[in-house]
Amino acid sequence: MDIIKERFKAKADAAATEIKELLKEHGSKKIGEVSLSQVYQGMRGITGLVTETSLLDAQEGIRFRGYSIPELQEKLPKAKGGSEPLPEALFYLMLIGELPTEDDANRITSILQRRSHVPNHVFAAIDALPITTHPMTMYVVGVMALQTESVFAKNYADGLSKKDYWESTFEDALTLIARLPRIAAYIYRRKYKNSEHIQPDGLLDWSGNLAHMMGYDDESFYELMRLYMTIHADHEGGNVSAHTTHLVGSALSDCYLSYAAGMNGLAGPLHGLANQEVIKWIYEMQKEIGSEEPTAEQISDYVQKTLKSGKVVPGYGHAVLRKTDPRFTAQMEFGKKHMPDDKLVNTVWKIYDTVPPILQSLGKIKNPWPNVDAHSGALLVHYGLVEYEFYTVLFAVSRALGVLASLIWDRGLAFPLERPKSVTTQSVKLWLEGK
């Protein structure tokens, strides 16, 4: 057995024993109360899930296995000559719960390189879709076509013992992660570059190879991809993509089925699609104003107009966070380092100065601060990646690391089918009447 798989198994067994003891002693303790409004309003603030890979603090932002984004940037192994973390290293951290050595990270990189071959029928399935299809739809179709390769599904059909579920899930997760950059890059080149595809470079790391296959062979773009893939990987368990992957996975759907389901959720404009919406919104504002460099006053007027027409300001607000998203800050630091004079990036920063007080003044928005999506597109545009409909695919490739590490843990801990209780308003009324 591979050493990483052995390490995971040892960690998962120890955690399962610990949880069993914990529940034996404290299982009946109350972790919270649920109000009727929470039931009607998106279950905000209800604790109802266990996700081991990361934890979100409303004030401080995300921590992956206890490490903040600046700490990851300092402590995780880097590519040769690079200064941003390798997302493969973050995957190891989420999976094993300990910082990887350089050897550990390289081991993941080389597993992913070895498994990256995508069977032809996946490309045929993508090619069968009209060229006008949204890239996220093509992506999910590609992932679904790849489901033919699921070891879990095959083993389950052959009669798999419960105690072995984790192992074929582990294998499926790594194989799927290995193949996603090729699928994403294929879609990009098909839709925007006349189907002139670029073969993988077997020597590059996971993110470097994605950049290369998309046609962006620039060391600082590689660095951006490594940072991008790291910061978008996980955001605890309750967000739509993570929760969906986990929920669908709880039916023992394999990694392919579960991840594809989660990515359909990521494709919604209130979740991952917000990154394309931000750039679209800025372009529309620039067009209306007739300038690439809107003033604070012009931005303010445009925000008011957006709000008056009943739309949201994309990239602002969050269901849990109550401060500027550290993922926004990490991208801002990258911008200051690599492109301090870029006009669009500067506009993003000016929007950051202008928007929060306006949203705050409305009184109803719980978080007026920017989230991860407010910044990501402008960095991509700087390198010439202007096709904003594609941005959520990059988010999806990254998100695979977190949701699939979590799915392996779900199997390692033998989590059961997820099935919360729902009510009807009629039943609520009867309950209120004491019936």
Interface residues toward ligand AMX, by CB under 6 A: 239, 270-272, 274, 307, 312-319, 364-367, 371-373
Task: Name the residue nearer to ligand AMX (CB basis): 88 or 373.
Answer: 373
SS3 breakdown of the chain: % helix, strand, coil, rounded to 5?
60, 5, 35
Nearer to ligand AMX, 167 or 277 (CB): 277
In the bound state with ligand AMX, the residue whose beta carbon lies nearer, of 318 and 382, is: 318
Residue 272 C-beta: closest distance to ligand AMX, Å? 5
Residue 79 beta carbon to ligand AMX: minimum distance, rounded to whole angstroms? 26
271 classed as catalytic: yes
User: What is the smallest separation between the CB atom of 157 and ligand AMX, expressed in angstroms?
Assistant: 35
Catalytic residue among 318, 325, 375, 382: 318
**Is 382 a known active-site residue?**
no
271, 325, 375, 382: which one is catalytic? 271
> Least distance from C-beta 318 to ligand AMX, angstroms?
5
Helix axes 135-145 and 120-127, enclosed angle (nearest 10): 150
Could you tell me the CA-to-CA distances from 403 to 83, 89, 124 in Å, in that order? 25, 15, 27
* 373 carries an active-site annotation: yes
CA–CA dist 236, 139 (Å, integer): 23
Shortest reach from residue 192's CB to ligand AMX, in Å: 23
**Beta carbons of 169 and 408 less than 8 angstroms apart:** yes
Least separation, in Å, of the C-beta of 303 and ligand AMX?
Answer: 9
Nearest residue to 366 (alpha-carbon basis) of 61, 60, 58: 58
- Alpha-carbon gap, residue 206 to 211, rounded angstroms: 9
CB atoms within 10 A of CB 89: 27
Q: Which is nearer to ligand AMX, 150 or 371 (CB)?
A: 371
The DSSP letter of residue 316 is B
Among candidate residues 104, 373, 375, 410, the one labeled active-site is 373
In the chain, the amino acid numbered 123 is F
Q: Which amino acid is at 35?
A: S
Closest residue to ligand AMX, based on beta-carbon distance: 317
Q: Which is nearer to ligand AMX, 298 or 306 (CB)?
A: 306
CA angle (187 as vertex; 184, 189 as ends), nearest 5: 110
Nearer to ligand AMX, 174 or 313 (CB): 313
Count Cβ atoms within 10 A of the Cβ of residue 398 and give its class: 0-12 exposed, 13-18 middle, 19 or more buried: buried
Place of tokens 């609520």: 428
Burial class from Cβ neighbours inside 10 Å (0-12, 13-18, 19+) for residue 117 reads: exposed
- Cα–Cα distance list, 47 to 58, 266, 381 (Å): 14, 21, 38
Q: Which residues are tagged catalytic?
A: 271, 318, 373
